[in-house]
Amino acid sequence: MQLKQTWRWFGSNDPVTLKDILQTGATGIVTALHHIPHGDIWTVEEIEKRKNIVEAAGLTWDVVESVTVHESIKTQTGNYQKYIEQYKQTLSNLAACNIKIVTYNFMPVADWTRTNLDFVMPDDSRALYFNWFDLAVFDIYILKRKNAADSYTDTILSEAEKRFKLYSSQQLDALSSTIRFGIPGEKKLGVGEMLESINTYKEIDHSTLKSHLKYFLEQIVPVCEENNIKLALHPDDPPFDIFGLPRIVSAAEDVEYILSSVDNSANGFCFCTGSFGASAKNNLVEMIKRINTRIHFVHLRNTRRDECGNFYEANHLDGDTDMYAVVKEVLSVQQKLDEPIPFRPDHGHVMLDDINKKTNPGYSCIGRMRGLAELRGLMLGVSRANNWQ
């Protein structure tokens, strides 16, 4: 059995239309109701409205990405119990609409983080890029987080100081906007709001945040089991601590803790090769073997690291991740299942005609279509070589 080919779509304001997606080879849609504030209930009416739009275009809504976890749940402060109950109701409403794979993450404050959204590649296409020196410039000189310098090596601190003195006010504003970009279609945090949110974690370390995730899962997994929902936890992006905040879904030991802490088939992962692959410590093939059939969704993306740990997003079959080995292992897991695991080509370079168009960072059409075509070809070759139909 093969994986299900899907495509992320951000709704009616997405520059890539459903009509465009039909031409890429994808048959399923990955989307979310980004207009609903974090923590609020997704009603059946709103879910059906989005589902009807997708199906009218000849596609299916296969995966939710994401039902965002309210910050109070992560910190266990304020009305966090109310938000857990509302999360449960959203899950039940999605199940009532026959949408059964739900992606989420447990990253504190910041979602995926990059320092450059238009990194120029040798072929003049544009990629997403993460650079420790620029992150330190933002953290120390723009965000002005207390004791921020303690989070960085002397090498990073020295280079960050040089860059801060060289950057114009316009360059610093652009860097700040890029780092605070967040999810397309959702409100971007201001610098003050971001600093305030970070301060709510001052008493929360890795162990505490892990216990909060375990508690959250203990509360929602029974609802998932009752409704045949598969949870797909997305790893941290990037997979290491930033802004002094603990990140707890970054490495093999984190995966082990999450799987064993709530040992239920509903408690699974969105296996993102770009997120896990940005850390040289992670052996992706071994991690796939461990998660096994609790891989409920797959993001296929590649990165290229340098000696400082900075990385850019490479073409899907290039980079530091052996995509052949990863795809072969994921397909091996698929043969144990009766239903196809959805995958999507995650991110993609801005290239060709898209360079002159407005696109969501990482989600231009042509770069992802190139990635999907390459991945489909790779999967066909792997499947034929192993007699997997």
Report pLDDT for 182. 84
Is the overall model pTM greater than 0.95, yes or no?
A: yes
Q: Which of 347, 349, 354, 365 is catalytic?
A: 347
First-last CA distance in the chain: 5
State yes or no: is 363 an active-site residue: yes
CA distance 112 to 316: 18
Single out the residue of 58, 78, 60, 85 nearest to residue 4, CA to CA: 60
Helices 323-334 and 365-385 meet at what angle, rounded to 10? 60
**142 C-beta neighbours (distance < 10 Å), count:** 18
Digit-by-digit pLDDT tens for the chain (389 residues) are 899 999 999 999 999 999 999 999 999 999 999 999 999 999 999 999 999 999 999 999 999 999 999 999 999 999 999 999 999 999 999 999 999 999 999 999 999 999 999 999 999 999 999 999 999 999 999 999 999 999 999 999 999 999 999 999 999 999 999 999 988 878 889 999 999 999 999 999 999 999 999 999 999 999 999 999 999 999 999 999 999 999 999 999 999 999 999 999 999 999 999 999 999 999 999 999 999 999 999 999 999 999 999 999 999 999 999 999 999 999 999 999 999 999 999 999 999 999 999 999 999 999 999 999 999 999 999 999 999 97
CA distance 83 to 73: 7
The pair of structure tokens assigned to 276 is 């896990």
In the block, residue with structure tokens 């409205």: 49
* Alpha carbon 119 to its chain's center: 19
State yes or no: is 299 an active-site residue: yes
Q: Which of 237, 346, 349, 365 is catalytic?
A: 346
State yes or no: is 270 an active-site residue: no
The pair of structure tokens assigned to 212 is 């909060």
Q: Which of 80, 201, 363, 365 is catalytic?
A: 363
State yes or no: is 38 an active-site residue: no
Q: Domains, the chain, ranges and CATH?
A: 4-112+204-385 (3.20.20.150), 116-195 (no CATH)
Report pLDDT for 186. 81
Q: Which of 70, 234, 296, 316 is catalytic?
A: 234
The pair of structure tokens assigned to 21 is 């997606």
Q: Which of 296, 299, 316, 349 is catalytic?
A: 299
Q: Which of 14, 70, 254, 272 is catalytic?
A: 272
